[in-house]
Structure formats: C-alpha cells, structure tokens
Homo-oligomer: A and B are copies of this chain.
C-alpha cells in the first residue's frame, strides 16, 4: 500500500462515514502483540479505520475468579500458548521473547497510551510497547522503558508521564475498562464493529475487518 492511499483514507474517515472497528487490548495480553503489529496494513487494505482501545483485563479476570493470567492458572493451556505464539511470531516475521515475569504489569503503559493518543502518536506508542515487551523482553512497568519509547516518538517523556498519572487519565482508563465489560469483552484482543458485533482473538482480525467494511 502507498502512504498516499493511507492518508486519503484517514482523511476520509474524519469527514465521512468510513467503516471503523475498535481494537480492544491489554498490553499484557500475549495474542494482542501479533494483532497490534499486523492490524494497520490489513485495515488499510480493507478500507477500515481502526481505533486502538487499551483497557485492563485484570478486573475482568477477577470477576471470573482468576487473580492471575489464565495461562498461568491452567498449565497445559499456558504451555501450548507460548509455543503457539512462538510459531505465530515466526510466521509473521516478528521478534519474540517470552516476558519475564508474565504477565507484565500493564497499568502504566495503558495510561500513557491514552495520553499518547491525545498527542497524536497513540498507535505508534502501542506498537512500540508491544515490541519492547514481547520482542525485546523489556519491563513495561519500568518508567525508563516508557520514557525511552516516548523520546523516540519525539515527545516529552516527563510531561506525558506526569499526565498519565493525572486523575483525568486514571478515570478515563477506568471508564474504558467498564465500557469493555459492558460490551461483553472477556479477553483480548477483541474487535468490535459499530453495530456491536464482537470478534475475539487475533485469529478473527480478518473476519472483523470484513464485517466492518461490509456494514459501512
């Protein structure tokens, strides 16, 4: 795809009823990594604008009786997931390192992502966090890791991190997580079309984009 086409479509999205899709994810979610890294070109080809929606899975898992990732709670399922993710990353040409500890604490990254969105670099920030976490094995709750990402995006790390700790942002992330629950989200990644149709999992990305494109 040419960037000209991308820009035209993004401009069209601002002024028309172009097809759209919400991409809900938690930065700690393993299958959200490949989804985040491949969504942009696929969405562009489908003519769909995708909105990155970070939220927290923790409260949702807690309501299901887990105080840990289900991949840690259920050992055989967890063992399989790591192997499956490794195969998936290999087939997509994505670097992969298992985060240690897993799951990573995703609160700081999620709050900062909301600020980065206000600053116009939200999607790039999200991809950089996923890359640092699952591609380079970095600790995404370490402020210096987040600072370094913001610096590479030519943003002022201190100013953005200060805003990430503001009540406004804390409340916004809480409200987004509550909205995720209301929409029926129980895991990540989840894609939701404007008509409410829900698709769960990296495996459903293509189908979700096709649905969103058809309904616009």
Contact = CB atoms under 8 A, between A and B. Distances in A.
Interface of A: 64, 74, 76-77, 79-80, 83-84, 87, 184-187, 198-201, 203-204, 207
B84 A200 contact: yes
B184 A80 contact: yes
B203 A76 contact: no
**How many chain copies does the complex carry?**
2
Among A76, A77, A184, chain B packs the most CB atoms within 10 A around the CB of: A76
B79 A184 contact: yes
- The list of the 8 closest CB pairs from A to B, nearest first, reads A76-B186, A203-B203, A77-B186, A76-B184, A64-B74, A80-B200, A80-B198, A74-B186
Contact of A83 (B76, B79, B83, B198): B198
Contacts of A201: 203
